[in-house]
C-alpha cells in the first residue's frame, strides 16, 4: 500500500535524540499522490515525533487487506484499503 513518512529536520533530530522512529501513514493511492510533499497535519504523528512533511515510502501490507481481525484504512480519507491500492507498489 502507499505509505507516507513524516520527515524533516525536526523529525530527524527527534529520531537521533530519542532513538525512536518517525511516523508512517497508510494511504489510498489517490490521497498518497495528492498529499506527497505536504505538511504533516500536527495531530497525525503517533510516535512522539513533531509534524514535518509527508514523503513517499512504498510498503505492502503483510497478509493482504482485511485478513484476520485487522483492516487498513486511509489515514486521510478513512476509506478502507483494498488490493487495488497495492497494485504497482513494490514490496
Q: What is the pTM of this model?
A: 0.78
- Give the pLDDT confidence of 12-23 residue by residue, as tens digits: 999 999 999 999
The confidence band for 56, taking pLDDT boundaries of 50, 70 and 90, is confident
Calpha distance 77→67 (Å, rounded)? 21
The confidence band for 91, taking pLDDT boundaries of 50, 70 and 90, is very low
Calpha distance 35→41 (Å, rounded)? 10
Calpha distance 21→23 (Å, rounded)? 7
Provide the 3-class DSSP secondary structure of residue 11.
helix
Give the Cβ contact number of residue 70 at 10 Å: 10
Calpha distance 66→18 (Å, rounded)? 33
Judge whether 41 and 51 are in contact, CB under 8 Å. Answer: yes
Amino acid at each position: 500500500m502507499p505509505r507516507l513518512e513524516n520527515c524533516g529536520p525536526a523529525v530527524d533530530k527527534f529520531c537521533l535524540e530519542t532513538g525512536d522512529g518517525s511516523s508512517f501513514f497508510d494511504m489510498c493511492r489517490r490521497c498518497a499522490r495528492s498529499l506527497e510533499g505536504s505538511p504533516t497535519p500536527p495531530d497525525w504523528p503517533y510516535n512522539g515525533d513533531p509534524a514535518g512533511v509527508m514523503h513517499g515510502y512504498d510498503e505492502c501490507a503483510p497478509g493482504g487487506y482485511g485478513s484476520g481481525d485487522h483492516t487498513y484504512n486511509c489515514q486521510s480519507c478513512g476509506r478502507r484499503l483494498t488490493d487495488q491500492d497495492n497494485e504497482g507498489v513494490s514490496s
